[in-house]
Structure 1
Amino acid sequence: MPLIRIDVLQGRTEAEINSLLDAVHRAVVKAFEVPQTDRYQVLTEHNLRRLVAEDTGLGIVRTEKLTLVSVTTRPRSDESKRKFYSELTAELAANCGTGANDVIVSITTNSDSDWSFGNGVAQYLTGEL
């Protein structure tokens, strides 16, 4: 159950946002092999001056299509993380016109006891999941 937070600059249409959310979800399903219905996403739009992402000295040029993706998830292998980066940039390029130069990803890992899907219960610990 990855929790996906996406930060973008203001100005995208509802159709563009929906396309972006769908593209990110397809990448999560492919790379992390989660069920199709395992979808938890939060998208936040920012004013141009409220979202700063420089290139860390790598010479990467950013545009108005800047997309920051933060993933909170159970432990994943390095291989599945690399697959996610690749799938994500491919999906965003094909479906949103977002270049790989505009995609920044951060993955934070937590444990089973860190999740409750509702009802005040840690379903991974109770065996419900």
Structure 2
Amino acid sequence: MPFCQISLRAGKPEADRQAILDNLYKAFRETLGVPEGDQFMTMTEHDAANFRYGNAFGVTRSDDLVYIAITVFDTRTPEQKKALYKRIAELLGESPGIRPEDLFIVLTGSAKENWSFGHGVAQFA
């Protein structure tokens, strides 16, 4: 049950934005075993004045940078996380053609009791 928030510079074609959403979902399904239909993602676009980045950690980024913040249950193994990062880079490299240097991914684990999937109920508490 990933919750994914994507941030990027404004102006990308709709086809590129849809490819990002579709391929993230595909990566979740392939590496984390996310069930069919389990899609909880948002995308926000920012003008240049409200979108900053640096070239820290020896990575030369461009204005095509995409921030991906993923929150999942805290039960994911390091191997699953590594597989997810790799698969995201592969799929988004294929379509819409994002360079791996332009992917900044943060994955946060959260205890199951911290989630409510609707009706004001903590389904796993």
Q: TM-score range by the shorter chain?
A: over 0.9
AA at the equivalent of 1:122: A
Residue-by-residue CA offset, 1:5-42 (whole Å, 9 max, x unaligned): 00110011112111111011111111111102111001
Question: What is the aligned partner in structure 2 of residue 14 from structure 1?
Answer: 14
Give TM-score scaled by structure 1 length: 0.91
Equivalence for 1:3: 3
Per the alignment, residue 72 of structure 2 pairs with 73
Question: Does 1:45 pair with 2:48?
Answer: no
Distance of 2:82 and 2:105 partners within structure 1: 11
- Corresponding position of 2:108: 108
* Corresponding position of 2:60: 61
Q: Kindly provide the amino acid, as one letter, of the partner of residue 44 in structure 1.
A: T
Measure, in 1, the Cα distance between the counterparts of 2:36 and 2:63.
30
CA distance in 2, matches of 1:92, 1:57: 21
Quote the offset at 1:48 in angstroms.
Answer: 1.3
> CA-to-partner distance for each residue in 1:33-57, whole Å, 9 max, x for gaps?
1102111001010111211121224
* Stretches of 4+ aligned residues off by more than 3 angstroms: none
Q: State the partner residue of 1:120.
A: 120
1:24 correspondence with 2:24: yes
> Per-residue deviation at 1:4?
0.3
Separation (CA, whole Å) in 1 of partners of 2:27 and 2:79: 14
Give identity over the alignment, percent: 27
Matches of 1:112 and 1:105, distance apart in 2 = 21
1:98 maps to which residue?
A: 98
Following the alignment from structure 2 to structure 1, what is the Cα–Cα distance between the partners of residues 6 and 82?
18
- Structure 2 residue runs of 5 or longer lacking an equivalent are none
**Following the alignment from structure 1 to structure 2, what is the Cα–Cα distance between the partners of residues 50 and 104?**
17
Pairwise CA RMSD of aligned residues?
1.1
In structure 1, runs of 5+ residues without a counterpart are none
SS of the residue 1:88 aligns to:
helix
Q: Which residue of 2 aligns with 1:84?
A: 84
What is the TM-score with the length of structure 2 in the denominator? Answer: 0.94
Aligned pair count reads 124
